Chains A and B, each alone.
Chain A
Amino acid sequence: MISVWHYLAVAAVLFSLGLVGFLTRRNLITMFLSAELMLQAVVINLLAFARFHATMSGQVFALFVVTVAACEAGVAMAMFIALYRRNRSLDATVWQQLRETGVPATTDPEKLPTVPGELADDPKLTPAGKKPQEVARV
């Protein structure tokens, strides 16, 4: 028998995974998606309570959560464009001059290894077939 507790547990796991992602990742887009993950976890909670109390209110709240998430997505994407125009980077640490006074700056002591030229792990299509032969022009 699946009870409300199972759903709450799944939602808690998803929320904390989103929390870890938001705290540790430095790519603005990944941070944004982590926040969305946390919102989804909250929506699962709302729907589980709605189901087990047999009221519609939880589903209506979830609808509003989705609305606010859409607003957030619009504003966040616009901000990413504006920030990228300034610094040519999606790294959140680039903006650390906005941090609180008295907090030491984040530095990256170890250098990243440079991979010459190749895309690191982007999906690629394997080339198929043969190169077409040149047709002799007449």
Chain B
Amino acid sequence: MNLFAATTAGNAVSQLATGVILGALAFYWLLPRPKGRSVAFGTFAAIASAVVLVSWVVRQFGDPARDTVGQVLFWLFSGGAVLFAAIFVSQRNPARGAIAFAFVIVSVCGLFLLLAAPFLMAATIVIYAGAIIVTFLFVLMLSHTGEMADENDRSREPLLGSLAGFAFLGLVLLAMYQSSPTAVAEAGRPEQKLPARPVTAEERAELLSLATDLQLAAAAKTKDELHERTKDLRDRFADIVGIPPSAPESGERTNAAHSIPDRLAIARDPQAIAIARQAEDLRSAVRQTLNQVENTTLKANPTAADMAAAVKGLANLREKAVLLAGRGELPARNVANIGYSLYTDYLLAVEMAGSILLVATIGAVAIAGRKGAAA
């Protein structure tokens, strides 16, 4: 039984039961009495119960603070990376600098995790932990002087160097600002296509709420209920996937330029094309289904078969909307997919990377391996 993943009703109940029993045990152990009290067991059980219950609540009712947690982690990691990078650059002692660099690497690895790259996070920690220890040994071996030394206590052109670095930073940030959505919106130019997600978070949320409404509509019993629940669906879908080709109000809408198929029109990568196709599919499904529903509701006395067909169409439409909402995420099996990608699309590059590693090993041995050549 997985305590943290309640996927079915039975699992949910057993997880809840586990949490409750752990809580009861905790207070059984914690409550004061002359014999049989155990603070250690009680604390442990209380923490375990809290974890199980919180995860259950989050699973069942949704996460109240998901975005907040993500934002706090992002600011923590990025702030840590920048802070320790500044310490590293300005530290005179190279050994302390190496330690600060290790903290930079750890913070950057946190950012990797936030960017859904767990394999790279682990690989970077392993590689750089080794690299930093080697660097540390080198510093202790070669540069451990007591006095002030030229290499540690002097900088080459401090003013010009910092100016160059921060001028570069300013230029990069300015270039980013000029193509960012806010600046583009202010200037009234058409939206940039490159850094937009295929299906943005807002679109996903809207698609999911549409799916809920479709489910409601599909549960309609009478013609009037059906009409009431489907009347604004066409407009809301048009905001996301564009105007259905034969929609009656097509002349009025002007903001359809931001719909998914239009945004992905110039994209060349197969995934974007697949998403665009799916959105196109959804668009035609919206037109067909809503036309059918309208025909049904316009009839004076729709038959039971008509109503059943309309409801079935709505259910199909809901499935398509849910499917499209699920696009635009990285696959969950990170390691498997990196491996697949490496050995299918990038096999030549893998071989070349192997050759580079070999050549680098030979080069390192050839450069450093001369004994007694200190002249």
Residues of chain A at the chain B interface (Cβ within 8 Å):
1-2, 4-10, 12-21, 23-30, 32-34, 36-37, 40, 43-44, 47-57, 59-60, 62-64, 66-75, 77-82, 84-86, 89-93, 106, 108, 112-115, 117-123
10 A-B pairs (CB sep. < 8 Å): A2-B70, A10-B78, A15-B168, A18-B85, A37-B101, A44-B111, A73-B134, A78-B364, A80-B138, A120-B146
Residues of chain B at the chain A interface (Cβ within 8 Å):
67, 70-71, 74, 78, 81-82, 85-86, 88-89, 92-98, 101, 104-105, 108, 111-112, 114-117, 119-120, 123-124, 127-128, 131, 134-135, 138-139, 142-144, 146-158, 160-162, 164-166, 168-169, 172-173, 176, 180, 195-198, 201, 269, 271-272, 327-331, 334, 337-338, 341-342, 345-346, 349, 353, 356-357, 359-361, 363-368, 370, 373-375
Which residues from B are CB-within-8-Å of A70? 127, 131, 357, 360
Give the docked Cα–Cα distance between A118 and B142 (Å): 18
Which residues from A are CB-within-8-Å of B138? 29, 77, 80
Check A12–B337 contact: CB distance below 8 A: no
Check B94–A68 contact: CB distance below 8 A: no
Which residues from B are CB-within-8-Å of A90? 142-143, 151
Check A56–B89 contact: CB distance below 8 A: no
Which residues from A are CB-within-8-Å of B148? 112-115, 120
Beyond A20-B166, A24-B157, A120-B146: 14 further Cβ-contacts under 8 Å?
A5-B195, A18-B85, A26-B154, A29-B94, A34-B88, A54-B328, A55-B330, A59-B341, A79-B367, A86-B375, A113-B148, A118-B146, A120-B92, A121-B96
Which residues from B are CB-within-8-Å of A80? 138, 142
Q: Which 7 A-B pairs have the closest CB atoms?
A: A20-B165, A71-B360, A24-B161, A78-B368, A16-B169, A91-B151, A23-B161
Most buried by B among A60, A72, A112: A60
| Contact pick for B111, options A7, A63, A79, CB 8 Å | A7
Kindly provide the distance from the CB of A1 to the nearest chain B CB, expressed in whole angstroms: 6
Check A10–B164 contact: CB distance below 8 A: no
Give the docked Cα–Cα distance between A5 and B81 (Å): 17
| Contact pick for A20, options B89, B341, B342, B353, CB 8 Å | B89
Check A55–B269 contact: CB distance below 8 A: yes
Which residues from B are CB-within-8-Å of A1? 67, 201
State whether A78 and B367 are in contact (beta carbons under 8 Å apart), knowing that A53-B198, A93-B156 are contacts in the complex: yes
Check B357–A63 contact: CB distance below 8 A: no
Which residues from B are CB-within-8-Å of A25? 89, 155-156
Which residues from B are CB-within-8-Å of A48? 115
User: Chain B: interface secondary structure?
Assistant: helix
Check A112–B153 contact: CB distance below 8 A: yes
Kindly provide the distance from the CB of B58 to the nearest chain A CB, expressed in whole angstroms: 20
Q: Which residue of A lies closest to B358 (CB)?
A: A71
User: Chain A: interface secondary structure?
Assistant: helix
Q: Which residue of B lies closest to A6 (CB)?
A: B74
Which residues from B are CB-within-8-Å of A47? 111-112, 115, 117, 120
Check B71–A23 contact: CB distance below 8 A: no
Kindly provide the distance from the CB of B143 to the nearest chain A CB, expressed in whole angstroms: 5
Give the docked Cα–Cα distance between A71 and B104 (Å): 21
Check B150–A93 contact: CB distance below 8 A: yes
Give the docked Cα–Cα distance between A4 and B179 (Å): 12
| Contact pick for A40, options B94, B105, B374, CB 8 Å | B105
State whether A74 and B364 are in contact (beta carbons under 8 Å apart), knowing that A44-B111, A63-B120, A86-B374 are contacts in the complex: yes
| Contact pick for A16, options B70, B166, B342, CB 8 Å | B166
Check A2–B71 contact: CB distance below 8 A: yes
Which residues from B are CB-within-8-Å of A121? 92-93, 96
Check A82–B368 contact: CB distance below 8 A: yes
Which residues from A are CB-within-8-Å of B89? 17-18, 20-21, 24-25, 34
Which residues from A are CB-within-8-Å of B155? 24-26
